[in-house]
Amino acid sequence: MIAIVGGTGPEGSGLALRWARAGESVIIGSRDAERAKAAAARIAEKVGPLGSVEGADNATAVKMSDIVVLTVPFAGQAELLKQLKPLFRPGTVLIDATVPLAAAVGGRPTRVLGVWQGSAAEQAAEIVGKSIAVAGAFHSLSATVLQGDQPVDCDVIVCSDDDRARQVASELATKIPGVRAIDGGKLENARIVEAMTALLITLNIRHRVHGAGWRVTGLGI
């Protein structure tokens, strides 16, 4: 079971749609269980019998899952993780897709905030503790493209200090048609990837598109 915390938003619901189409069992988490169930029903209607999608409050979603994907705005990341920390199963993999955009404090979405720990992913790791394996991934995928039917022309850069978390995140990435998983090294490198997302937003605005993404060349993969 894959829990997507913040799964009613565009990014979270897009990931849920793609993974359900790949045959995965997904539970959408939200502060409002009814809202999560409604989002799950909309996705299930699109997916049909291919995968399993359900909705629940965030706490229930986390308790039911061994993989938790966090897709919430940066402003709510720390407080939410502190609330959910006691509910994580032993050995859970947490995949953090949070980007510390300045929009979280009323600034521009094309700028990133300084995070004391270095990145949102590192902040998440500090909060949940060493018993939870953390990876930073899925920052660069366009929510608009994820909601569609076509392959996603973008690489996912996965940063982690834990080999199992890196593997889990990479396998989830490759379940999305068109996506490659790129090993981005240690979790501290997530600060670079998160900042790159702000640049993607700038490119989308300047070129009047919604689906700009990254491709890494020359790796022979």
- What is the tens place of the pLDDT at every residue in 74-108? 989 999 999 999 999 999 999 999 998 777 767 77
Mean pLDDT of the chain, nearest integer:
93
- Sheet with 133-136: strands ordered across: 52-57, 25-30, 2-5, 67-70, 93-96, 133-136, 155-160, 180-183
d(CA 189, CA 169): 15
Strands 133-136 and 155-160: antiparallel
Q: What is the pLDDT of residue 109?
A: 76
How far CA 218 is from CA of 151, 178, 201, 212, 221, in Å, comes to: 21, 17, 25, 20, 8
Record the tokens describing residue 38, joined without a space. Answer: 């409604």
Strand partners, 213: none
Q: Is the pLDDT of residue 18 over 70?
A: yes
Q: What is the pLDDT of residue 68?
A: 98
Q: Is the pLDDT of residue 50 over 80?
A: no
Name the pLDDT band for 154 (thresholds 50, 70, 90): very high
Homologous superfamily of the 2-207 domain (CATH): NAD(P)-binding Rossmann-like Domain (3.40.50.720)
Question: Model pTM?
Answer: 0.94
Q: What is the pLDDT of residue 106?
A: 75
Per the model's pLDDT, the better-predicted residue between 91 and 221 turns out to be 91
Q: What is the pLDDT of residue 58?
A: 96
Q: What is the pLDDT of residue 48?
A: 83
Q: Is the pLDDT of residue 163 over 70?
A: yes
Q: Over the range 183-202, which residues count as b (16 or more CB within 10 Å of their CB) and which as e?
A: ebeebebbbebbbebbebbe
Q: What is the pLDDT of residue 105?
A: 66
Torsion on CA atoms 77, 79, 81, 82, rounded to nearest 10: 160
Q: How many CB atoms lie within 10 A of CB 147?
A: 15
Strand partners, 54: 27
Q: Is the pLDDT of residue 132 over 70?
A: yes
- What is the tens place of the pLDDT at every residue in 164-183? 999 999 999 999 999 999 99
Q: Is the pLDDT of residue 117 over 80?
A: yes
